[in-house]
Amino acid sequence: MTAKTKAYAAPSAKSPLAPFSFTRRDPLPDDVKINILFCGVCHSDIHTARDEWSGTTYPCVPGHEIVGQVAAVGRNVKKFKDGDLAAVGCMVDSCRECHACHGNLEQFCSDVVWTYNSPDEHTGGVTYGGYSTNVVVNQHFVLRVRKELDLVASAPLLCAGITTYSPLRHWKIGQGQKVGIVGLGGLGHMGVKFANAFGAEVTLFTTSPGKAADAKRFGAHDIVLSKDEDAMKARGSTFDFILDTVSAKHDRDLYLSLLKRDGTMTVVGLAGEPISISPFSLVRLRRRLAGSVVGGIAETQEMLDFCADRGITCDVEKIKIDYINEAYERMLRSDVKYRFVIDIASLK
């Protein structure tokens, strides 16, 4: 008889997260069961728990920045054994047969199964995420975590890390390029670290004057308060690439005006409202507006190994699970340095 998995769930869009328990499946031949040690808190967890994108099924157990220890493996699993460190990010399954899956771009598979709030063929309900004591995942979607990576500080790499690493790699960011990162939260602080590690000249755009010293420490060469009109104007038409990580509605024309000819602004922030921009912002100087969602499994492993090689981790505040509702409120006030990570021992 499989033991109950303890968790925290949002019972509805309007109620705080509260204790919940459910049963995970026993590992199938290709599954890995992981006892979760830490789980990062992504702003997508808030959007989903509060149904800001609509389509949330309740109860909702968020969490897709999962690190832990392998507790059991199915008979076909060769890559992992009991006791290994392992991680799970935003996806737990996909069709494995389509063009996207064959190209190691599972995030674009039309049948991708997200780690939480996706239809779960095994239970008939929805998938439950990492605000829980364990998870059972097909081995293809389980990542290796090298021993030199600090576990707590690595959990957010599984979403905040790959979501910023992937577009910076895709748009070939490197030396000689001027890159802007908008917003210094979970995603933004990793965007600054990666853009710096890839050799770019990095500018942080922030609404929070108190974050300047940290941004410098993460590798920003220039810090601009987005409310400072003169400072924004002075940097007009100078950027090759801008990564917009903002979680709320904001003025996109302001940032498009900073791109030089043929520059690209890539949106990863997912505020619920439609994006409204002036066509002049794009047409003048042939600028591009693009989007990106997490990254494929192979690229996530590449990112984790890059972080282990280069000593890159996230700046985190470790919390107990019963602090989660307060953590959400603090994230909504942009008061996070720079990712909350739940110590899952506090759930047991």
Omega before 16 cis (within 30°)?
A: no
* 31 or 106: CB nearest ligand NAP: 106
Nearest to 98 by CA among 81, 86, 114, 111: 111
Q: Identify the residue among 69, 207, 325, 346 touching ligand NAP (CB under 6 A).
A: 207
Total length of the chain: 348
Of Zn ion, ligand NAP, none, which one sits near residue 245, judging by CB under 5 to 8 A according to partner kind? ligand NAP
283 membership: H or E segment, kind and range = helix 279-283
Q: Does 157 bind ligand NAP (CB under 6 A)?
A: no
Q: Does 42 bind Zn ion (CB under 5 A)?
A: yes
Contact 307, 301 (CB under 8 A): no
Q: Applying CB under 6 A, which part among 114-122, 192-200, 229-237, 265-273 lies near ligand NAP? A: 265-273
Q: Applying CB under 5 A, which part among 12-20, 26-34, 78-86, 159-167 lies near Zn ion? A: 159-167
Q: What single DSSP character describes residue 226?
A: T
Strand-pair category, 113-114 with 201-206: unpaired
Residues facing 18 on adjacent strands: 9
Residues facing 241 on adjacent strands: 179, 264
Of ligand NAP, Zn ion, none, which one sits near residue 109, judging by CB under 5 to 8 A according to partner kind? Zn ion
Q: Does 284 bind ligand NAP (CB under 6 A)?
A: no
Cα angle value 303/34/56 (rounded, 5°): 80
Q: Identify the residue among 48, 56, 94, 132 touching Zn ion (CB under 5 A).
A: 94
Of ligand NAP, Zn ion, none, which one sits near residue 248, judging by CB under 5 to 8 A according to partner kind? ligand NAP
Q: Applying CB under 5 A, which part among 49-57, 87-95, 150-158, 271-279 lies near Zn ion? A: 87-95
* 159 or 336: CB nearest Zn ion: 159
Q: Identify the residue among 32, 184, 256, 342 touching ligand NAP (CB under 6 A).
A: 184
Nearest to 23 by CA among 128, 119, 115: 128
Q: Does 293 bind Zn ion (CB under 5 A)?
A: no
The residue with its CB nearest to ligand NAP is 185
* 70 or 157: CB nearest ligand NAP: 157
Which single residue is written with the structure tokens 């004591």?
133
Q: How many CB atoms lie within 10 A of CB 151?
A: 17
Residues in 228-257 at the binding interface with ligand NAP, rule: CB under 6 A: 245-248, 250
C-alpha distances out from residue 188 to 124, 155, 282, 305, 334, Å: 36, 16, 24, 20, 12
Nearest to 303 by CA among 142, 123, 158: 158
Q: Smallest distance from the beta carbon of 72 to Zn ion, in angstroms?
A: 26
Q: Does 206 bind ligand NAP (CB under 6 A)?
A: yes
Of ligand NAP, Zn ion, none, which one sits near residue 285, judging by CB under 5 to 8 A according to partner kind? none
* 72 or 270: CB nearest ligand NAP: 270
What is the distance between the alpha carbons of residues 274 and 237, in angstroms, rounded to a whole number? Answer: 25
For 316, half-sphere exposure in the C-beta direction (CA atoms, 13 angstrom radius) is 26
C-alpha distances out from residue 78 to 32, 82, 134, 268, 298, Å: 10, 11, 20, 35, 17
* 138 or 300: CB nearest ligand NAP: 300
Of Zn ion, ligand NAP, none, which one sits near residue 70, judging by CB under 5 to 8 A according to partner kind? none
Cβ-Cβ contacts under 8 Å for 309 (sequence gap 6 or more): none
Q: What single DSSP character describes residue 274?
A: P
Q: Smallest distance from the beta carbon of 62 to Zn ion, in angstroms?
A: 9
For binding to ligand NAP (CB under 6 A), which residues are involved?
42-44, 47, 159-160, 163, 183-188, 206-208, 211, 245-248, 250, 268-271, 292-294, 331, 334, 336
